[in-house]
A and B are shown apart, each in its own frame.
Chain A
Amino acid sequence: MALLEVRDLRTSFFTDAGEVKAVNGVSFDLERGKTLGIVGESGSGKSVTAYSILQILASAGKIVGGSVKLDGQELVGAGEKVMKDVRGNKISIIFQDPMTSLNPTYTIGHQLMEAITLHTNRTRSQARERAIEMLKLVNVNEPEKRINQYPHEFSGGMRQRVMIAMALACEPDILIADEPTTALDVTIQAQILELMQELQKELGMAIIMITHDLGVVAQICDEIVVMYAGGYCERGTADEIFYNPKHEYTKGLLRSIPTMNTMGQKLKPITGTPIDLLNLPEGCPFAPRCENAMKICLKQMPESMDINENHKASCWMNVKALLEEGGESNE
């Protein structure tokens, strides 16, 4: 049994303008100690997936279907009491913008200790010791002094480290990182990623890395889920996805990355604009932008298909390939 099992998760936001189907049937497994990457553009539903797991959606958002099982325990519909025990304790999350994610009117010490005292039975001084320990762990210098400082006295990279310290204070089984490096410089980015990998080795936790940056994914992820317009396109091991992509969207993404080999050639972006989540079409949401779209792509949503034991994809092209194969071998 995997540590985290997500099956056919569906989340919608009920707004004045209608129901926005942010997540439409995402499934994946997360094994202990492994790193899963969720990749997609803005609006693909990757962050909402994470918020749905922890049930920290904005008030207009609701999980409308599917299941999320942590160590066999169903979280969807489990109630606040269960979730409060999960949040910050068994599953932690760090967010994209560390400046706005920390309360500006409290010291970081206060915020760290809050996380600690919420889930453990430590006394105040024990919690403070633990907080300093955590700051050391994430390589914040002079932790005894800095623990009394306010968020605005830290630099961007430092704040993200503080967030990581806060998230890991209770040694969670899973750390969800929602675009943790997007708001940071490239050099700081590398440091943070390195830090996360070190901590993963030390503490043995699993990581869900949410990002739109394929480079980050390539660096640290064991498995990848590719999302588009709230649905998943394909999922599999990193090798499979990068070297054997089986969904037109993934192929388009990989093609659009400029590499040393393609130097001098025209950039190949994916044409068109992302779909309107208020008006999802019947068929595959990527079809209008897909070079190889077929009539069936516009009419019906493709089912998920096993490519091999490490790789599932949801694209009619694979069915077409199979049919052609079957047709050929029949001759």
Chain B
Amino acid sequence: MEPLRELSRPAWLRYGVAVAASVAALVATNAFWSVFHAVPFMLGFVAVFATAWFGGGGPGFLTTVLVAAGILFVLPVTRTAWPPGADDVLRLLLFVGAGAFASALQRQLGASRRTLVGLLAESRQSRRQAESAMIDLARFAALVESSDDAIIGKSLDGTVTAWNAAAERLLGYKAEEMIGKPISTIMGAEQKKDMVEILRRIGRGERVEHFETVRIRKDGQPVYVSLSVSPVKDPSGRVVGAAKIARDISERRHLEAERERLLAETRKAVEIRDAFLSVAGHEFRTPLAALSLTFHNWSVRARAEKDERTLERMGKAQQQVIRLTRLTEDLLDIGRISAGELALQKTATDLAAVVREVAGRLDESAARTGARLEIESSGPVVGDWDRSRLDQVVTNLLTNAVKFGAGHPILIRIHRDNGAAELTVSDRGIGIRPEDRDRIFERFERAVSSRSYSGIGLGLWIARQLVTAHGGTIEVESEPGQGATFRVRLPAEAG
């Protein structure tokens, strides 16, 4: 509140001015006695009014007293006779009364002015508050209007009360078309049931968030929306309506559908690939069998005729047929494993014997790289396994060790460990980078460039599938440049 001007002055100044004005009035009255002798209080009145105006009721009253005292006790020394006459006393009393009245009037006036000033300040503040509220409201309205989400207000009986620009864009109806209309205008039969439930929850004061549903546009097209609905309450807290924010999720739904479609397409492509590999594999088998038989027959003839040169060539040709046959079988295994048709024919099998047999087969190709296969086993390690599948696992691991072992010795250890058979194949070759260690067990994955190393990236995947089918595990430890150790653990009865 703005203080009164006269009261805002310091008291010493207000009362100092009262004293000075009193003295000045007395001095001037005395100096111009010839003028004022008939009205000796005239200048006193002026002083009282002036000080009351300048300093308020208190100083006015002080001036009254000082002037009265001055005229009564000081001026008589120079100007008037003492004791004063009855007229003089009357005039004095009149002066004091008038001065006191003027001062009281000024005091009262001050109080009124203070009230007035207070009211004025209050009114200014409420105007500022009103302005600020208007600005907030305008800002909020702009926010609602510029929102990308449709914002819709409705009463509890489902009548539309607000409809922003985004609602116009999303649903195709103008605000003037929708305000006052039932919200069910934009709903299909199914959604009307939902609305009853939503309004029931809103009526209880609950919020409904991210409810995905469909609304019908003015042009009849459905539009997918995510709704958040909040209750609108009056100042007493009673729910009087609902504010609904609808976000267009058609694009998201579209992307989801697109993703589903791509996923289905990818799955289909994988199925087709596997089916193709299976058909191709079967088609390769007959010519390979015919080729193998033909080479066999030629070898038989060469042996009978003691034609060593042909015999050796036929042997090499047979090796290539065996390689082709193995690749074909790998391709066929993809289909079998993917279709869950991997049937294991389990018999009592000695893992150490299988390893020796495979190593014997690979000795020659290992020797060509300069590598030596060293087997370390404490004796037979027998389990209930599919012998030919186990042979395949060991073949794949040893083939890899020879291929990536850089010509260093390869150590193969077989031993029994707590009811499990453990086979480790360690090479001292190029090793595997940490980021590739999981990947190499996946289909068609290779950790090395196909320009440097041949192979289609199936060996370890098949090995893992076969080991897993036996209830076992396969893992690898490796540092790049330090070689790799593959560890296979298979369940085996203790003994």
A and B: real partners? no
Q: Which residues of B contact A (CB under 8 A)?
A: none
